[in-house]
């Protein structure tokens, strides 16, 4: 293995590990949001801890209404789900790349292209869905604060993956063309 290919393989291993970590964090975040949404009704106003209701504790210390907390958890659940899917797709790409031993395959380039497109579409789509859910919750619930999911760099990252996929495709095609003359010269 050449030095550059060795470096690419080390980066692929790191990418696989980081993708797995992001996936796990997204799962935990999504589960925590779901548990929070489910558990909030279990603590009615009559339940007090140290003379303070759970709802009053949230409103005082988080400086957010309980209904805003519901909306934030719903948005968080949707955003975590989208990022978990994206992280799983990235982990799959890195796993396949490590199995082939090079990023310069047509299948790998195609998978990287799909990952780049997903890196653009999934966060944009989940953000739209989260805003839609927020709008519905704000319409039907009282005292829901204005919540805006943070901006992501997914479009730039997605474009970079698409460009990298084209470079990998070119490398795979170049390698195939470079092998053809030597293969024919052996048969003659």
Q: Provide the 3-class DSSP secondary structure of residue 152.
A: coil
**Cα(28)–Cα(81) distance, rounded to whole angstroms?**
10
Backbone angles phi, psi at 72, to 5 degrees: -65, -40
149 DSSP assignment: P
**Cα(40)–Cα(59) distance, rounded to whole angstroms?**
13
Low-confidence ranges of the chain (pLDDT < 70): 1, 43-63, 149-153, 180-188
Percent of the residues in the chain that have a pLDDT greater than 90, as a whole number: 53
Q: What is the pLDDT of residues 162-175, one digit of tens each?
A: 999 999 999 999 98
For the chain, the domain total comes to 1
Burial class (CB in 10 A: 0-12, 13-18, 19+), 179: exposed
Domain ranges, residue 93? 3-187
pTM value? 0.81
Q: What is the pLDDT of residues 122-151, one digit of tens each?
A: 998 998 999 899 889 888 888 887 777 666
Backbone angles phi, psi at 52, to 5 degrees: -125, 135
């Amino acid at each position: 293995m050449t030095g550059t290919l060795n470096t690419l393989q080390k980066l692929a291993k790191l990418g696989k590990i980081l993708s797995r970590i992001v996936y796990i964090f997204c799962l935990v975040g999504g589960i925590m949001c779901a548990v929070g949404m489910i558990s909030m009704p279990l603590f009615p106003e009559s339940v007090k801890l140290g003379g303070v209701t759970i709802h009053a504790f949230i409103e005082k210390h988080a400086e957010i209404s309980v209904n805003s907390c519901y909306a934030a958890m719903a948005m968080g659940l949707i955003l975590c789900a989208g990022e978990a899917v994206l992280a799983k797709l990235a982990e799959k790409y890195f796993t396949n790349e490590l199995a082939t031993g090079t990023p310069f395959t047509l299948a790998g380039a195609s998978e990287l292209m799909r990952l780049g497109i997903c890196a653009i579409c999934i966060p944009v789509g989940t953000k739209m869905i989260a805003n839609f859910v927020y709008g519905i919750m704000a319409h039907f619930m009282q005292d829901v604060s204005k919540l805006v999911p943070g901006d992501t760099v997914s479009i730039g990252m997605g474009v970079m993956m698409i460009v990298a996929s084209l470079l990998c495709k070119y490398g795979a095609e170049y390698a195939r063309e470079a092998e053809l003359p030597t293969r024919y010269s052996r048969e003659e």
